[in-house]
Chains A and B, each alone.
Chain A
Amino acid sequence: SQQGEEDPQALSIQEGENATMNCSYKTSINNLQWYRQNSGRGLVHLILIRSNEREKHSGRLRVTLDTSKKSSSLLITASRAADTASYFCATEETSGSRLTFGEGTQLTVNP
């Protein structure tokens, strides 16, 4: 089974609301990364959080990491229609294996 799993698979909200996506993983990690993908385009890196960090902010994004629960969350505050995209978490395991991606959360922000 895959390393990272996002929850929910799909999320639909209104502009201005906050969006929260979760990621769970199975093994020890060096870092966890969040990426965004607009339909039919490449992935864009959003934020990287290291295993010794608990929270990180970047603009309207807030990422938390709980290594004891092997989970992370991505919060997008004051969402905009332009935030509509798929969001993926990716983990870099301590075993040295490559980044492993989850299946993603499809976020739709309705104007």
Chain B
Amino acid sequence: ETGVTQTPRHLVMGMTNKKSLKCEQHLGHNAMYWYKQSAKKPLELMFVYNFKEQTENNSVPSRFSPECPNSSHLFLHLHTLQPEDSALYLCASSQEGSGFTGELFFGEGSRLTVL
């Protein structure tokens, strides 16, 4: 147990569906992240939230919509996805300092398949 919980672990959706991924951290960290992991590619940082405020959006398509209602919860809302969006989506948290990311604690990931 890393203290970061992701649900669901597996998700299959059609291109017209709307679904959400959920992440919860029990570590008291101030920052939360969404990463995308595709086969044979480095982890891609998608979004960063610090104290509920979005501090980074790495040119992610608008069909991915993050939400951070508080510093312990992070959602990724999905709509009208494409098959190439199939990947493992990883949530992470850390205790950020001034200009310092620190050690990331990852959840187990949500394996998304878009048909």
Contacts and interface: CB of A to CB of B under 8 A. Distances in A.
Interface of A: 2, 4, 30, 33, 35, 40-45, 48, 88, 90, 92, 96, 98-104
A48 B103 contact: yes
Contacts of A90: 104
Interface string B79-115: 0000000001010100000011101111111010000
Contacts of A98: 33, 45, 48, 56, 101
Interface stretch (B13-21, B35-43, B70-78): B35-43
Interface of B: 2, 4, 6, 33, 40-43, 45, 48, 56, 88, 90, 92, 99-101, 103-109, 111
Contacts of A104: 42
A43 B100 CA distance: 19
20 contacts: A2-B42, A40-B88, A42-B4, A42-B6, A42-B90, A43-B90, A43-B92, A43-B104, A44-B106, A88-B43, A90-B104, A92-B100, A98-B45, A99-B101, A99-B104, A101-B43, A103-B40, A103-B41, A103-B42, A104-B42
B46 to A, nearest CB: 11
Contact of A42 (B99, B100, B106): B106
Contacts of B108: 41-42
A-B CB proximity, top 4 nearest: A42-B106, A101-B43, A43-B106, A42-B108
A105 B26 CA distance: 30
A44 B100 CA distance: 19
Contacts of A33: 103-104
